[in-house]
Chains A and B, each alone.
Chain A
Amino acid sequence: MEFAFTKEQLMFKKEVIRFAREKIVPRVAEHDRNHTFDFEAFHKMGEFGLLGLHFPEEYGGGGADVVTTVLAGEALGEAGVDGGLTLSYGAHSFLCADTLYCHGTDAQKTRFLPPLISGDKIGCMGLTEPNAGSDVSAMKTTALKKGDTYVLNGSKTFITNGPIADVALIYAKTDPEKAHDGISAFIVEKGTPGFEAGPPMDKLGCRSSQTSELFFSNCVIPAENLVGMEGLGFLMAMQTVEWDRSALLSPMVGGMNHALARSVTYAKGRKQFGRPIGKFYATKEKLAAMKIFAEAAKLLVYRIAWCKGQGKPLNHLEAAVAKLFVGDWLLGPSNDAVLLHGGYGYCHEYGMERIFRDGRLAPIGGGTSDVQKMIISKMI
């Protein structure tokens, strides 16, 4: 087994970290505090090539492999980019754009991918509904065919990038009588009559990411906005799970390394009772726990990435283990990072409490830890 990154990947990671530290990190605290999206950083990520890393060059992408793409997320986290921006990036590039790339027609790809990859347009994906979270088949939103159009009615909730998206990839029932097989995917553009986004939700963490409900009221879209074939929506959504369990988790791995590096520096500089607090066993134990989490999570996340890169079908057990581990085990070491910084850790200025808050999404979004446990127990 080969665990090492290539020279190219390591240089790439270094450059992403430098880019992020210079162009994004200085404004992270402000956007987190104000609950605002950093449009400027997002555009710069597009210019730098991050938003379209794995897409082919013909659409403006970088043609990078899966592991390198996942590494970019880790680098952003390691640089100190907040979970809000990396979440928005994930929803945009992997949940929206990647689905269009994998299942869209040539015309859809040519029209929508270049502006999504450059960052000129922002994408979101609408799957979850008030009564259809992990149980996707319970969704109530419908898209009924009428001539050469579809008419959408219903609502979505907890949609990352919802209030700011120009292009929404929406899952809706084309056959309400059916469960999973009745779900199809559609492109709905901002400004389409009958389509509205709710106000941004006030969240515990990932605050720079804008999350909202989406409402569809007799929203008429052209039939050509159907992505793939009718009834295949659920399968398309499930294909994003590989990215969800790798590229969307890797910023949290990087974030823990960021917290660890900051904690080590603090533990060496902060003196109590005449010596650095890093000399105390309780501090060492916290630092070790952070490192153990970061290393173990990294292996689990890159296993998913490597398998996807090799074209292997997703191992749902491994994916659930990765998601659950990052989601549940992140709580301890990110709490330790706050505690290690004492009063400073509790204050916004030091950024530790933000890492803690941002991490609270991990066991909830993209499939709760309880659902992961159901999957794991079913498959062992």
Chain B
Amino acid sequence: MRETFRLSMAYLHTWLGLLLGFVLMAIFFFGSLSVFDREIDRWSVPETRAQAAPFPSFDRSVLPIIDSVKPDPESMEHTAAEVIGKLPPADALKAGDVGVYTNHRDPILRMYVAFDVPNKPRDANLDHVHVYGFASVDPQTGERLPADIQDRLQLGTGFFFPMHFMLHLEWMELGYWIVGLAGMVMMAALVSGVVMHRKIFREMFTFRPEKARLRSILDLHNMTGVLALPFLFVITLSGLLIFAFMYLPSPTTLMRPLAKAQELVEAAGTGLPVDPSGKPGKLASVDAMMEAAKARWAAKGVPGEIGSVAIIHYGDADAYVSIARDNVDRVATSETLHFTGSTGALAYEDPPASGIRTTEGFLYGLHFQQFRHWTLRWLLFAGGLAGCACIASGFLFFVEKRKKKHAAIGVPGARITEALAVASVTGMLVATGAMLLANRLLPVDLPGLAGWQEAVFWLTWLATLAHAGLRSGAAASGGFSPAWGEQAGLVALLAAGAALANWVTTGDHIIRTVAEGYWPVAGVDAVLLVTAGVAGYVALRLRSRVRRSGQATPAVTIKEPAHV
């Protein structure tokens, strides 16, 4: 019975892992990059390379800008498809809510304006349909950033982060669903992996690179999986929870009347108006409210820089202002303070979180990582890469185990899998490197600059798949695909090239940024250079291996480890 169970778990682990492993590889890799999304933003938009600064004066720097923010054309298009009838022209829309936020790693104050829409939604469950407009403010000067800089593609928050959670597949929210499915598969793979790994603790410290290839790959797969297991499990679980509202929508669909009633009961408890009064009203000084919030945090002895300010029902007599702090000192987000807009008096403070809310806040917080803890940030980055190593070694094990057998009976399974694995491991790195290089080399006044960078990324990735397929002939005869080494060499060139291009186009070389202590750019360059070094070394090792295997086929028969 036990063996049957273990075998069925092994079957599940192998095939589900293979099927969704390609997606998981991208999720984990771009998730790791997203740990440093703000820093990659600075690297990719050099005009914004400044030290992070505290929130500027709201009354002087933000309020005058609000009325000049126009609805974003893309958002107009998106909302037009969600509502019944034609949307009013952009100029006729009125701002409803305004949100402004930054954090200790961001030298930009980001701002959105949610414009009210009179149209009814097509889907009755969408009750907060808005059109959004965006603006960015330089907190050092309090000036609005010019449109060409504000709209420049910030690779960290604008491309790698969305790639992590929705793969840029917006149609029918398909990307979110694929990522959710992959997350479920990851959980199943972790649990089934533990069940099938007989000597999980006994072999926790065992890596035998000198043994037969299959054995050493399996050691690496087990070791990266077991040592990073707590991280992999919790990060996957929390990722799934973040989008649980989408995967399990019944609280807002089937139980909608109940949810609405609950919203009203909660609002009654807080005294904060759910809907605007419809009468225009004046806003008291938001700076004074921010000062009051800071004084409250100082009295509690917690770090008290402002993280976000939201004006709900902007311009209405019932407007209120919600202020939250930049949670540098804790994992979960903290309680928000709400002020009455017309008087500036504190209306309500969120109560201390319940046990369930605390757990939820902790799980969300550990995934969004807004805290100030650089050691932990690097550890989480390393954890994500360990996840990538675990998945990549899983592919290798699958391929190596079947390669000779498939070659003997003329089945292309291992060959196809290896080509896909090459594209999803080294190919993904090549595409990322090419995008970073394109970011530095394409002229900033090129029309559709963001689209060009994205095109470079996708087309390069596609090209690596074609390359992996064309070079997979060796795998068909049970050999080792030269594509691994060739693409690793390309990764080295692109990573070093991107760091070099950063120096040439901005003058910020790593010695300078380190000497000046500008860590966001120094850190990205350092990772690029380390990547170049490691990938170059791997490329050379693989080249000599391919040469050796070309000269002689090993006469030893490899004893297969007990594993499916």
A binds B: no
Q: A residues engaging B (CB < 8 A)?
A: none
